[in-house]
Structure 1
Amino acid sequence: MPTTPLPVPCTRAQAVAALGEPGLGAALRAGRLRRIWHDLFVPADRARDRRTRARAALLLAGAPAALTGPTAAEIYGWLPPHTLSVHVAVPPRHRARGRPGLILHPAEFTEEDVLRLDDLPVLTSAHVLATLLATHHPNALPCVRTALRDLPPDLRRTLVREIRSVLRRSSERPPGIAIPAQRDRTSAPVPSRPEGASDGRGLPISGERAGPEGTRVGDQSGVRRIEVVEPRYAVRRRRTGAGTG
């Protein structure tokens, strides 16, 4: 029996301290422990647990780091759990490197931009939605609509300003994104336009080409804007039961 508690996830040094080298080898051979990334181990029955994998990804990335992209969208309740990959935001000059199943997003953020949700560090909704838009995630616009629907109408303009601010600073920003406009600023969420942002006649706004799934983010010149919100003002999350794990 180990004399030192085995944290979950654990590093190789922690596993050796708890089990010894022979014990670690035996646990791996017997399938009691699984290696999920380089020198990071978890109990076999938690190898596919999203929260456990998120903690492991954050441990591997090193501070400062926070969940973003689809992983954070699952925690907010905007997306159903659908992948074991973990998306983590790190400062642009951070030395961490991505690997299969661990996607790093260079991002400028401060402590104020990080929330604690489900006991995990998660970037604010503006950062997460901006990442989804900037990386052309196929469900970026549905996530924006859901975020808008969950917020009081008077806060939607605030979120839009925050998203636009994040996009201007984002190193992931592709050239020229048009985000479909919200028809009614006080009530209806942003309608989905899979064919791209248009002027009501099916023509791209300002001559911009629509990107995948109708999202092109970046140059906002002449583009009608959606409105988005920040969880620091109001968070109404629907718990999915799975979160990130």
Structure 2
Amino acid sequence: MKIQKLITNRAPVEGSGSPKSTHLFTGILKCGLCGSAMHIESSTGRNKKQYHYYRCGDAKRGFECEGKRISAPEIDAFLAKTILDKILTKESVTEIIREIEISTSEWWKNRKRRRDATVAEIRVAEAKRSKIFDIMETYGKDTPDIKQLSMRLGELRSQIEALEGSLLVLEDEKDPVLDISADDIATATESLRLLVTEEASAATARTFFSSFVKKIEIQAEQVVIKYDPAKIMNHESSVVHSKNWWLPDLDSNQGPAD
């Protein structure tokens, strides 16, 4: 679908603005010529039918920009289909899961490194404490610098207690859960597609799109969608979620919840 087909001057502008709940990409679309945000503007045709468009904000305010207005319903449909066909695919979801698996592996490796380092510090402190005990046991009350050695024992005791405490915290860290099957991926992909194709869920779909689409630039010959694939599943590199977290909320009919 060519972008030029969406550019229209069918009716004169009589006003601007439109309920945000009826359009999918308000707040996301940017003019590819000047970078200004694109706003909804309305007009009435000869048959008194209302038309809604996205238009460059600077052009709308009278600044020098040749950005044209674009039919809001048509560009919404085009962009939604593009995201469904190019981004919300089984292959892309599978790739996200693969990244989550890598993060899970890194989490385990990182915890082992931290645990090994903490245990090593404890062993060093214990060895120093044991050496002082040996000296004090050998010389008894005649131990040289006994006051300083006693203070050093207190410092080592505090250090060991702190390290043992951090080790307990490390051991209590919740293990990442990764229980995602091929069926789960298929279910997630279909649920995401339903989420953005249900006419009654425009507000929900818009919220979903904005959660991972950074911006969409409307250029003369193409649209450029800039997005963060990791955020499609609410996934952050330092956190690994179970399938119950990253699957979209479903209602009793297994469709996207309202």
TM-score after normalising by structure 2: 0.24
Please say which structure displays the higher CA radius of gyration: 2
Query: Which structure would you say has the larger RCO, counting Cα contacts within 8 Å and 6 or more residues apart?
Result: 2
Q: Which has the higher helix share?
A: 2
TM-score of the two chains, using structure 1 as the length reference: 0.25
